[in-house]
Structure 1
Amino acid sequence: MMDPHSAFLLLSTLIAVVALILLVAVFKLNPFLSLFLASLGLGIAAAMPMATIIHSFEAGMGGTLGHIAIVVALGTMLGKMMAESGASDTIAHTLVRWFGEKRVPLAMMVSGLVVGLPAFFEVGFVLLVPIAFTVARRTRTNMLLVCLPMVAGLSVVHGLVPPHPAALMAAMIYKADVGRTILYGLLIGIPCAFLAGPLFARLIAPFIQLSEENPMAAEFIDHGQERSLPSFGLALATILLPVLLMLIGSWADRFAPAGSTLNEAIRLVGNDDMALLIGVLISFFTLGKMRGFNRDTILRFTNECLAPTATITLLVGAGGGFGRVLQDSGVSHAIITIALRSHVSLLLLAWLTAALVRLATGSATVAMTTAAGIVAPIALQTGGAHPELLAIATGAGSLIFSHVNDGGFWLVKEYFNLSVPQTLKTWSICETIISVAGLAFAFALSLAL
């Protein structure tokens, strides 16, 4: 039985989310202001001290922007260099030639799965977005048919497949065998990505009317058509360099003893921000100087591409602020209590706990680690569930229904120039399909093992 205070908190959260959607979609209030007002309203309803509400929002926003702002800025610079040099065109042309125009959605799904393995969702997103825009433009394909499969691939590896940092963390908490978790994660993740990406995109695209103008897509238009395009090898090496550095960083302990100077140096180079920084600097040479651009032109490119990212980073940060208020107001604790009181199987408990924390906080990583920390001790005592499948079920739950308190929601909305209702109908449902299908496949695999 839910206590009255927890019930009130959950009702207040529901009202805050609905009010937020109405403010943005119906009353056309600036999304940043809407997020701020919704956070204030929820904090007041939850009886948080006034000063604490503001501090909580600031802390959540600052914590989110600390990572996202760097990733978006560096990723956009790299994307701009790829577009201006023609590298995005080269990769897009090659993907279309390999897969064929009819299988472009499948090509983008595979790209998301590969690039997203070592990187957090936001990093893989900013790396692949310029290619997605170019593929859509070259093939005259509906943007959703290209972009939804891409984000589905990125999302699947984020939640289900080590060595992605979040999925690897969950596997370690459950003391699961990493090799088997990777195998099971791929067996489950690939069909999930296909259902939520190419298949769902084909079903939903006819019902979504996209705007003809997209400010972010305009930043990634190739203005170097007169020049010969860079080779596919050079273009691919440039975009995959940050991905390779992140992989090397995750294997630091294999190259040098933990705690050693070399180990720390490898980890530093493999850090998301550092890997992207190195990738951008290298692109100035491979896609800049080698393509005939001088220093002034490269500087102009990097300055021009940052202007449209201001709104994106602000909204992603505000989403983090709203998520932090949800945590500090006690909503997350109320949700965890509900999950623990439910008498369900361990796989369903892991999925349900992660799903509820995700809905409350907006962060898949927080949901994954929180749920794994709660369920792992129960699993060790009761047994009966494969730890690898528990890790996958937890990851699947952490992906459910991304909405207005998730930075990824605003990233997708702004880059693809969608309205809030359109983002809910596309991206949020895409995430939910991955989540529910992941749980269903985990149950099916548990019966076969």
Structure 2
Amino acid sequence: MVVSLFQSVLGLLAGISLIILLTARYKLHAFFALLMAAVLAGLIFQLPFTEILGTIKTGFGQIIGSLGLLIILGTTLGLILEHTGSTTVLAGYVLQKIGSSRSALAVNIIGYIVGMPIFCDSGFIVLSGLNKAMARRSGISLMVMASSLATGLYAVHCMMPPHPGITAATGTIHTDIGKVMLYGLLIAIPAAFCGYLWSARAGKRISAPVIQEEVITAPARQLPTVWQAMLPVAIPVLLIALRSFFTLDKAADTWLIKILNIAGIPEVAITAGIALALLAGNRQGSAALRKILPEGAEKAAGILVIIGGGSAFGAILTKADIGHHIAQNPAITGMGLLLPFLITAILKTAQGSSTVAIITAASIVQPLLLSLGLDTENGRILCTLAMGAGSMLISHTNDAYFWVIARFSGLEVKDMLRVYTVSTIFMGITAMAAVYLISLLINT
């Protein structure tokens, strides 16, 4: 059946509004909000209920099949690095090299490094004790320190696979995850630094008390060395980047190329990182490490159902052929990369979750790629990166990460809004500017 333009727009707006209402107002789990939005949109499109259910199941199964293993392995790697103390070792090493006088910049860099394999909220919780200790020793406001750390973690979380939002977008948009990872890492550098600059400027005027508490760390003999802590993060990124950069599937047929072509598959590369992290943490004892693996699977399950729900909602939206209707509007199609950026930013600001925002935006943008002039290999990469940039802004009181920062740092909400929230605006704009510059380079 043909869905009219009015039905298409109504179904889209109703679905998005329901997601925002249920997640932001009633705190319903994002999976159920996405599922209910998919059903509502399908009913507005006047699809038979059996077709709605079948489309939801198909959309859910496709994305889980393509990304499920990657999400589980990435989550597990992050947990192992937490439990073995590798994050603490990396943080201490960066601080030693940069110096306590530049503690805010140090924690920003620490956040960027630690944030590669670990979700931003988990990373902030793990490093919050170290962050407070550094604030005490340096005399720098805790507001500056907390926001600098938070923005370093946040930049990588929004821009780099295997973090769930942008990873799901690569699956929906059907783009090269290795190139998205490589470009995302580069874009996250100026975005994180921009967050640090604003935090240092705005936060120094705010008197933020440091909670006096002892920072507990594992004995030095139980912690891995710097190299042991660094390799599980660096090796997967290097392998994936090499495979993507050299386009190894089209390269010369040599034994080295064959090995790198297999080792650079994201799931294989992250598995190598897990093996290295387990070797680094063997001093913790096999019993402790055995507990981490089930924990990784359980934590990943919660992420996977959200990604699956987003894909189900997207599958329903494709039934409306929204792309066909919007493609006939030159004002919209002329926006190019700006459209996916704005859609994601609006969704993020409205409902709070970067993951839900980019998953939903990818479902909306995917049928528009051709009309936006982005239906090429480079165009899909740039589109995914633009959505990652959009998912940075604006983080405020409806974002769980906002409250993690405030709770673990003992900061006032008004101060968080003035410093951290504003920094996410500058970060998103900076990241989008970097995406635009990359588009000029790779499209010339």
Say yes or no: TM over 0.5: yes
* 1:246–1:270 CA contact under 8 A, matched in 2: yes
Using the TM superposition, give the Cα deviation of residue 42 of structure 1 relative to its aligned residue in structure 2, in angstroms.
Answer: 0.9
Residues 322 and 286 of structure 1: CA distance in aligned 2, closer, same or farther (over 3 Å): same
The separation in 2 between residues aligned to 1:92 and 1:265, in whole angstroms, is 33
2:108 corresponds to which residue? 106
Residues 195 and 38 of structure 1: CA distance in aligned 2, closer, same or farther (over 3 Å): same
Q: Could you list the per-position Cα deviations for residues 128-160 of structure 1 after superposition, in whole angstroms to 9, with x for gaps in the alignment?
A: 7765543333112676542333332454578xx
Residues 94 and 316 of structure 1: CA distance in aligned 2, closer, same or farther (over 3 Å): same
Among 298, 302, 315, which residue is 2:293 paired with? 302
Structure 1 unaligned regions, length at least 5: 116-123, 159-163, 173-177, 213-220, 380-386, 404-411
The separation in 1 between residues aligned to 2:299 and 2:17, in whole angstroms, is 28
Q: Could you list the per-position Cα deviations for residues 31-61 of structure 1 after superposition, in whole angstroms to 9, with x for gaps in the alignment?
A: 3222211110011112233222222222222
Residues 370 and 402 of structure 1: CA distance in aligned 2, closer, same or farther (over 3 Å): same
The separation in 1 between residues aligned to 2:14 and 2:361, in whole angstroms, is 22
1:324 corresponds to which residue? 315
1:121 corresponds to which residue? none
Residues 190 and 306 of structure 1: CA distance in aligned 2, closer, same or farther (over 3 Å): closer
1:322-361 aligned within 5 A: 322-338=313-329, 341-342=330-331, 349-355=335-341
Among 273, 280, 284, which residue is 1:286 paired with? 280
* 2:337–2:386 CA contact under 8 A, matched in 1: yes
For 2:239, give the aligned amino acid: L
1:137 corresponds to which residue? 129
Give the secondary-structure state (helix, strand or coil) at the position aligned to 2:28. Answer: coil
For 1:234, give the aligned amino acid: Q
Over the aligned positions, Cα root-mean-square deviation in angstroms equals 5.1
Residues 54 and 203 of structure 1: CA distance in aligned 2, closer, same or farther (over 3 Å): farther
Give the secondary-structure state (helix, strand or coil) at the position aligned to 2:336. Answer: helix
1:96 corresponds to which residue? 95
* 2:194–2:427 CA contact under 8 A, matched in 1: no
The separation in 2 between residues aligned to 1:418 and 1:110, in whole angstroms, is 16
1:362 corresponds to which residue? 359
The separation in 2 between residues aligned to 1:85 and 1:136, in whole angstroms, is 17
Q: Could you list the per-position Cα deviations for residues 387-430 of structure 1 after superposition, in whole angstroms to 9, with x for gaps in the alignment?
A: 99x89975664346449xxxxxxxx85898699xx99x799857
Q: Could you list the per-position Cα deviations for residues 66-109 of structure 1 after superposition, in whole angstroms to 9, with x for gaps in the alignment?
A: 34432332223222322232211100112233343221453146
* 1:105–1:198 CA contact under 8 A, matched in 2: no
Matched, 1:62 2:61: yes
Residues 152 and 371 of structure 1: CA distance in aligned 2, closer, same or farther (over 3 Å): farther
* 1:351–1:395 CA contact under 8 A, matched in 2: no
The separation in 1 between residues aligned to 2:108 and 2:237, in whole angstroms, is 21
Give the secondary-structure state (helix, strand or coil) at the position aligned to 1:398. Answer: helix
* 1:402–1:427 CA contact under 8 A, matched in 2: no
Among 146, 149, 154, which residue is 1:151 paired with? 154
Residues 40 and 328 of structure 1: CA distance in aligned 2, closer, same or farther (over 3 Å): same
TM-score (norm 1): 0.64
The separation in 2 between residues aligned to 1:415 and 1:70, in whole angstroms, is 29
1:83 corresponds to which residue? 82
Residues 88 and 442 of structure 1: CA distance in aligned 2, closer, same or farther (over 3 Å): closer
Q: Name which of structure 1's ranges 21-30 and 432-441 shifts more when overlaid on structure 2.
A: 432-441
TM-score (norm 2): 0.65
The separation in 2 between residues aligned to 1:17 and 1:262, in whole angstroms, is 48
The separation in 1 between residues aligned to 2:374 and 2:93, in whole angstroms, is 49
1:40 corresponds to which residue? 39
Q: Could you list the per-position Cα deviations for residues 238-260 of structure 1 after superposition, in whole angstroms to 9, with x for gaps in the alignment?
A: 22121122123225556984577
For 1:398, give the aligned amino acid: M
The separation in 2 between residues aligned to 1:67 and 1:431, in whole angstroms, is 30
Among 391, 398, 412, which residue is 2:387 paired with? 398
* 1:20–1:38 CA contact under 8 A, matched in 2: yes
The separation in 2 between residues aligned to 1:31 and 1:378, in whole angstroms, is 29
Matched, 1:268 2:262: yes
Using the TM superposition, give the Cα deviation of residue 6 of structure 1 relative to its aligned residue in structure 2, in angstroms.
Answer: 2.3
The separation in 1 between residues aligned to 2:338 and 2:71, in whole angstroms, is 31
* 2:23–2:33 CA contact under 8 A, matched in 1: yes
Residues 108 and 35 of structure 1: CA distance in aligned 2, closer, same or farther (over 3 Å): same
Using the TM superposition, give the Cα deviation of residue 195 of structure 1 relative to its aligned residue in structure 2, in angstroms.
Answer: 3.7
The separation in 2 between residues aligned to 1:37 and 1:248, in whole angstroms, is 41
Using the TM superposition, give the Cα deviation of residue 337 of structure 1 relative to its aligned residue in structure 2, in angstroms.
Answer: 3.5
The separation in 2 between residues aligned to 1:26 and 1:63, in whole angstroms, is 30
1:406-417 aligned within 5 A: 413=400
1:244 corresponds to which residue? 238
Give the secondary-structure state (helix, strand or coil) at the position aligned to 2:26. Answer: coil
Using the TM superposition, give the Cα deviation of residue 235 of structure 1 relative to its aligned residue in structure 2, in angstroms.
Answer: 1.0
Give the secondary-structure state (helix, strand or coil) at the position aligned to 1:126. Answer: coil
Residues 35 and 277 of structure 1: CA distance in aligned 2, closer, same or farther (over 3 Å): same
1:6 corresponds to which residue? 5
Give the secondary-structure state (helix, strand or coil) at the position aligned to 1:13. Answer: helix
* 1:156–1:193 CA contact under 8 A, matched in 2: no
* 2:358–2:387 CA contact under 8 A, matched in 1: no
**Paired positions, count:** 378
For 2:150, give the aligned amino acid: C
The separation in 1 between residues aligned to 2:322 and 2:254, in whole angstroms, is 42
* 2:158–2:391 CA contact under 8 A, matched in 1: no
The separation in 1 between residues aligned to 2:370 and 2:46, in whole angstroms, is 28
